[in-house]
Chains A and B, each alone.
Chain A
Amino acid sequence: KNQVEQSPQSLIILEGKNCTLQCNYTVSPFSNLRWYKQDTGRGPVSLTIMTFSENTKSNGRYTATLDADTKQSSLHITASQLSDSASYICVADSNYQLIWGAGTKLIIKP
């Protein structure tokens, strides 16, 4: 069964600190792995997309990693800001069928 699991479910950190969000996926066939940021009451915004051959991709303070062998991905946020408070969703693409994770709710406190 295709599925995506994310951890932790929620996370609270202080402004300026770093954090890492985890994603384990089981999809076949595998096309790519995506990370989205979703602010409350808004649509998701793409952060990164990684194919099988890519093991790291950065977008500003966001760095995603992908281990296709262990089927794990992580999203690292550096020097967090208050505006980083949002849900971060990991999505596995299986031939254009998107398998959505439940997301990690991140709260940045001043």
Chain B
Amino acid sequence: GAVVSQHPSWVICKSGTSVKIECRSLDFQATTMFWYRQFPKQSLMLMATSNEGSKATYEQGVEKDKFLINHASLTLSTLTVTSAHPEDSSFYICSARVYFGDRGSEKLFFGSGTQLSVL
């Protein structure tokens, strides 16, 4: 199956600093990537949809100036948490959509996630 690589796996930072998380599709081109956050014992919450070459579409309640998304190429999307605070501590996961044109279907492949801890 398709592989989505997410880095770093975990990061600890001081309050007020910015953190960048990378999401790469290793063996396919992803025109659309998704960013989620997940709090302990809760399910994934979609933050934004990232489209290559255009601005990301943010879900209601997600601050676009705080969570900067860049999807400059077909294989890389980045999420930057700006001026991070302890309440931003969470598990962040990216995913990429792959279309199987011959079967008319699509699948989501997820990165391994990034645990962010803001002190």
Contact = CB atoms under 8 A, between A and B. Distances in A.
Interface of A: 41-46, 49, 89, 96, 98, 100-103, 105
A75 B42 CA distance: 19
A42 B46 contact: no
Quick one: which of A41, A44, A96, A98 has the most chain B CB within 10 A? A44
For chain B, the bracket of interface size reads 20 to 34
Interface of B: 4, 6, 41-46, 91, 93-95, 105-113, 115
Contacts of A100: 43-46
B93 A43 contact: yes
B42 to A, nearest CB: 7
A57 to B, nearest CB: 13
Contacts of A103: 43
A101 B107 CA distance: 18
Given A41-B115, A42-B113, A102 B43 contact: yes
B51 to A, nearest CB: 13
A101 B43 CA distance: 7
A96 to B, nearest CB: 8
Contacts of B108: 46, 98
A41 B94 CA distance: 13
Contacts of A89: 43-44
Contacts of A49: 105, 107
A44 B105 contact: no
28 contacts: A41-B91, A41-B113, A41-B115, A42-B112, A42-B113, A43-B6, A43-B94, A43-B95, A43-B110, A43-B112, A43-B113, A44-B44, A44-B93, A44-B110, A45-B110, A46-B108, A49-B105, A49-B107, A89-B43, A96-B106, A100-B43, A100-B44, A100-B45, A100-B46, A101-B43, A102-B42, A103-B43, A105-B41
